[in-house]
A and B are shown apart, each in its own frame.
Chain A
Amino acid sequence: MSALRRPLPGWVEIGLLPLANIALAFLVVSVIVAIIGVDPLHALRLLVLGALGSSESIGYTLYYATNFIFTGLAVAVAFHAGLFNIGGEGQAYIGGLGCGLAVLALDRYLPGLLMIPLAILASAAFGAAWAAIPAWMQAWRGSHIVITTIMFNFVASALMVYLMVNVLIAPGSMTPQSRGFGASAQVPSMQAALQWIGIAVAPSALNLSLLLALLSCVGVWIFLWHTPWGYGLRTMGHNPEAALYAGTNLKRTTMLAMCLSGALAGGVAVNELLGVHHRLVLDFAAGYGFTGIAVALMGRGHPLGIVLAALLFGALQQGGAELAFESPRITREMVVVIQGLVILFSGALVHLPRPWLQALFARRG
């Protein structure tokens, strides 16, 4: 017990412990790959090449990372307030509904310079609204936010299926998707944007939403660590009673944290719908909300850490797809396995390697 309490040097705590957690996760992954009958080193080579081997694959890696930055930030903001928002999936999905409704109503009348910001705001507002209900239930009725956000994911999914199949489906379409968005509601692809300033890259799904994601990182950083509201939010996460004593309104802060979290999750809709699909589709947010938990845990809740973790998960997503393509015995779901193991080792078992590192680095006395 006393060994657990001994402090580790800062660089070990921030740098080495997360790496040790990831290393353990990948050790288990390589065992699974070996069980399937594939050489883990060969698989790793294919994965890295698939994620970073060409400008096209780097583009896709960054495109996936964009989603993970949004959902990672969403989980982290709530986490700083001591709230576990598992509903990123549903909030992103309903954010997409807001985005789609705004575009379908107005894309024929507004120019891109008005349409796109408006669609982004609609995504954020709908995402925030979907998070506001469980936040209200937590703050005023004392309902456990983990359970309610899980339920809201399922409700969001049912609602979207109903709306897509019965209301928003394009006339004459066989698949449940809306009509295509007008040109004024399409976020330019990174390839087009870079070409405009004279840089040639291969086309990919990467679009300017990445900039929005990075801006959100800066915004979250300023908000959490350099504003009184962020201070109150973090105080509530550390010690609600102290926050209350210091004059923080806990109910209002809970609403603030969850709405901000939901709005950030809505960013996935911007990247997916305005950036890539250019129409409202089913299940565009599938899996991103949950991976956001892994990203936030790995990034230790800090925007910079979240960007790095999102890059890793983006590379895994893209590299995993290529790996599955090249190696018939491995399917795409290998990425899901890796995500699960990362959540396990850098979340629930975060303290597992601590005693070993303590034996190596702990300050004596």
Chain B
Amino acid sequence: MEEALSLVTATLAATLRVATPLVLCAMGGLFSEKSGILDVGLEGKMLMAAFFAAATASLTGSAWMGVGAAILAAEVLALLHGFACITHRGNQVVSGIAINILAMGLTVVLGAAWFGRGGQTPPLTGTERLNPIFFPVAGDNILVYGALLAVPFTWWLIARTRFGLRLRAVGEVPLAVDAAGISVSWLRYRAVLLCGLFAGLAGAYLSIAQNAGFSRDMTAGQGFIALAAIIFGRWRPVPAFGACLAFGLLDAIAIRLQGVRLPGVGEVPVQLIQAMPYLLTLFLLAGFIGRTVAPKAAGVPYEKEP
């Protein structure tokens, strides 16, 4: 019994550890997508943030400087996305992909030039990392609690404030927002910046809290899983949070099930469990599990009448 209990708590703690960057990223993506700006570039923003967090923490010896640098790096990419998609009305998907590829290359190029470790940053220790607060084994660093707080914050901001109302409106019918005399561009820029803030925190979590340093491509598709969680949560913060937890649980189970034979089923391929978030999202998108309702204006650049 005691063994089973400790297994459950260990799995729950692992779920929370894995879900934290997904939650932060998904909340960021929600702001952007709610405002009508698709964000395929979550992955790239997170990766760039992870690199600058570890690089800065390693050079300054302070984890908090790392967090600051992570946010800054993600915001630069967020502004780039905004500049391309809002100011120049470029294709939002193309811009997102460009940001992903740019981040994939730039983190290794800069890392190799600055640290000479094939794209890795030096291992971080002590105050260079964000360390657990109450339970050293569980890894409950401040960003885990940050992610848990980010969900009610996002819900409150989107559902209960004037800004949130306008944000939702601009993602559905931007013309109406414009006609009411509110700037579509400024609203969307604020949404994109909020997205950068959360993606930056997610990146910092990966490299200076969950791991002790940056390694190449360390996001490994988590930005896309966060995107899947947004879709799964039908663009609402609390269900999206649930989806992140479910995907995190799948990951935690995948690690435990490695090489284990289940009675009646045999050995479940780890790859199948790893592909589950994508497969589930595909089933959802195909309309087999309810319907999805994306913001109507998402992906459509807004052209102001002259």
Contacts and interface: CB of A to CB of B under 8 A. Distances in A.
A150 B91 CA distance: 16
B224 A162 contact: no
Contacts of A362: none
B278 A155 contact: yes
B257 to A, nearest CB: 14
Nearest to B304: A1
Nearest to A28: B102
Contacts of A348: 84-85, 88, 90-92, 94-95, 98
B275 A143 contact: no
Contacts of A151: 224, 228, 278-279, 281-282, 285
Contacts, number: 150
Interface in B98-157: 98-106, 108-110, 112-113, 118-119
Contacts of B101: 290, 336, 339-340, 343
B102 A340 contact: yes
Interface residues of B, number: 52
B104 A349 contact: no
A350 B94 CA distance: 11
A336 B105 contact: yes
Contact of A341 (B98, B287, B294): B98
Contacts of B287: 141-143
B108 A32 contact: no
Given A158-B272, A340-B99, A333 B228 contact: no
Interface residues of A, number: 48
Interface in B63-103: 80, 83-85, 88-95, 97-103
A344 B269 CA distance: 38
Interface in A126-170: 137, 141-144, 146-148, 150-152, 154-155, 158-159, 161-162, 166
Contact of A146 (B85, B93, B100): B93
A343 B95 CA distance: 8
B268 to A, nearest CB: 11
A86 B97 contact: yes
Contacts of B165: none
A86 B274 contact: no
Contacts of A331: 108-109, 112-113, 118-119
Contacts of B95: 344, 347-349
Contacts of B227: 147, 150
Interface string B252-273: 0000000000000000010110
Contacts of A334: 105, 109
A337 B292 CA distance: 35
B104 A1 contact: no
A352 B87 CA distance: 10
A36 interface: yes
Interface of A: 1-2, 32, 36-37, 84, 86, 137, 141-144, 146-148, 150-152, 154-155, 158-159, 161-162, 166, 290, 293, 297, 329-331, 333-341, 343-344, 347-352
5 contacts: A143-B292, A336-B104, A347-B95, A347-B98, A349-B88
Interface of B: 38, 40, 80, 83-85, 88-95, 97-106, 108-110, 112-113, 118-119, 221, 224, 227-228, 231, 269, 271-272, 274-275, 278-279, 281-282, 285-287, 292, 294, 304, 306
Q: Across chains A and B, which 6 residue pairs bring their CB atoms closest together, nearest first?
A: A336-B105, A340-B102, A348-B95, A337-B105, A348-B90, A340-B101
